[in-house]
C-alpha cells in the first residue's frame, strides 16, 4: 500500500486523472491526500469533487482558500471573482451534494508522522495544537452556523494568534493560518499581501517554515498553496503546489510509513489555462 500526497488540483481533473494513471493508483490498495484547493481556476471543479467522492475511503483532502471561497460564493455571501471558474460546480445538477461533501472536509490531517495543511503553521503551534484548532473550525463549517460564519470569514485580522481569541475572530485567524499563510515574523505576525516566492519576504518576515525554533519542527509538514515557491523538498517540509493550473505540473509525493518522503511523480497539465510566470 502506498500513500500519495498531491498538490493543488484547482479543477484540473484531466491532470489529476493522468497523474493517478502514472502512479498506478489503486483505491483497493493505495491512499491519496489532496492538499487543498481542489476547485477553481481550472475547467472541471465538479469532476474533481465527484472523483474524490467516488474514491471515498481511499482518498482524503484538506480544505484550501479556493474551496472555502467556493462555499462562500455558493451561499451568496461572496461575489464571484472575475477569474473564477466555478460555474460548472455551482450549476451542476448535483451541486448541493458536492458542496455539502466539500464542507465536511478537514483543515488539517496527520498520517505517518506528517502534518498536512493547505498553507502553513504558525511558529507557536505544534502539530497537536494545529489539529485541535483545525477541528474547531471544521465543527463550524459542518454545523448550521455555516451561513452565519461565511460572511465573516474574510479579512486579515487578527494578524497574530492569541489563545484568548474567541468566536469569529478566533476562527478567522485559524482559517487564515491554515489556508493563506506564507510569511510571518518570528513572533507569529502574519503578512498576506506578498505572493511572490520565498526570496521576496518583506522586511522582518520569513517564510513560515524558516522561522527558527518553530514548535512544529518535530513533524514533517506537507503543504500546497504557494505556486510561486514551487516544488520544495526538504527533510522537514514539502511544498507540492507546482502551478498545475498556470501551466506548471501536478505533483504527487509518496509518504512512506516511517514518515520519510518517497518518490515524486509529476505530469504536465493538458488543459493549462496560462503559462506559469
Q: Indicate the average pLDDT of the chain.
A: 96
Q: Tell me: the pLDDT tens digits for 80-102?
A: 999 999 999 999 999 999 999 99
**Per-residue exposure over 197-214, b if at least 16 CB sit within 10 Å of its own CB, e if not:** ebeebeeebbbbbebeeb
57: alpha, beta or left, given left = phi > 0 and alpha = psi -120 to 50?
A: left
Query: For the chain, which residues make up each domain, given as ranges?
Result: 3-268
Is the pLDDT confidence value at 275 over 90?
Answer: no
Q: Are 118 and 63 in contact (CB under 8 A)?
A: yes
Q: At 53, is the secondary structure helix, strand, or coil?
A: helix
Q: Tell me: the pLDDT tens digits for 153-200?
A: 999 999 999 999 999 999 999 999 999 999 999 999 999 999 999 999
Contacts of 45 (CB under 8 A, 6+ apart): 11, 38, 39, 70, 85, 86, 88, 89
Q: Output phi, psi for 127, to 5 deg.
A: -60, -40
pTM above 0.95, yes or no: yes
Using 50, 70 and 90 to split pLDDT, how confident is the model at 111?
Answer: very high
- Residue in 274, 273, 275, 255 with CA at minimum distance from that of residue 264: 255
Helices (H), 142-259: 146-149, 167-180
CATH number assigned to the domain covering 3-268: 3.60.21.10
Cα-atom radius of gyration of the chain, to the nearest Å? Answer: 17
Average pLDDT over residues 106-132: 98
Amino acid at each position: 500500500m502506498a500513500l500519495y500526497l498531491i498538490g493543488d488540483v484547482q479543477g484540473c481533473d484531466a491532470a489529476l486523472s493522468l497523474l493517478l494513471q502514472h502512479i498506478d493508483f489503486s483505491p483497493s490498495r493505495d491512499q491519496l491526500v489532496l492538499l487543498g484547493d481542489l476547485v477553481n481556476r481550472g475547467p472541471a471543479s465538479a469532476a474533481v469533487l465527484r472523483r474524490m467522492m467516488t474514491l471515498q475511503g481511499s482518498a482524503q483532502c484538506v480544505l484550501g482558500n479556493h474551496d472555502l471561497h467556493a462555499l462562500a460564493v455558493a451561499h451568496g455571501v461572496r461575489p464571484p471573482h472575475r477569474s473564477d471558474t466555478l460555474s460548472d460546480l455551482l450549476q451542476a445538477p448535483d451541486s448541493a451534494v458536492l458542496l455539502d461533501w466539500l464542507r465536511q472536509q478537514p483543515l488539517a490531517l496527520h498520517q505517518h508522522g506528517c502534518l498536512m495543511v493547505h498553507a502553513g503553521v504558525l511558529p507557536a503551534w505544534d502539530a497537536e495544537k494545529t489539529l485541535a484548532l483545525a477541528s474547531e473550525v471544521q465543527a463550524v463549517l459542518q454545523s448550521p452556523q455555516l451561513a452565519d460564519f461565511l460572511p465573516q470569514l474574510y479579512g486579515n485580522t487578527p494578524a497574530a494568534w492569541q489563545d484568548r481569541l474567541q468566536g469569529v475572530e478566533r476562527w478567522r485567524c485559524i482559517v487564515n493560518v491554515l489556508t493563506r499563510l506564507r510569511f510571518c515574523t518570528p513572533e507569529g505576525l502574519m503578512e498576506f499581501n506578498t505572493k511572490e516566492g520565498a526570496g521576496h519576504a518583506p522586511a522582518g518576515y520569513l517564510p513560515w517554515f524558516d522561522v527558527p525554533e518553530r514548535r512544529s519542527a518535530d513533524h514533517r509538514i506537507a503543504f500546497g498553496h504557494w505556486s510561486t515557491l514551487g516544488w520544495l523538498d526538504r527533510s522537514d517540509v514539502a511544498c507540492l503546489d507546482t502551478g498545475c493550473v498556470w501551466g506548471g505540473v501536478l505533483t504527487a509525493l509518496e509518504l512512506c510509513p516511517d514518515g520519510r518522503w518517497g518518490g515524486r511523480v509529476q505530469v504536465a497539465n493538458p488543459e493549462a489555462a496560462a503559462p506559469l510566470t
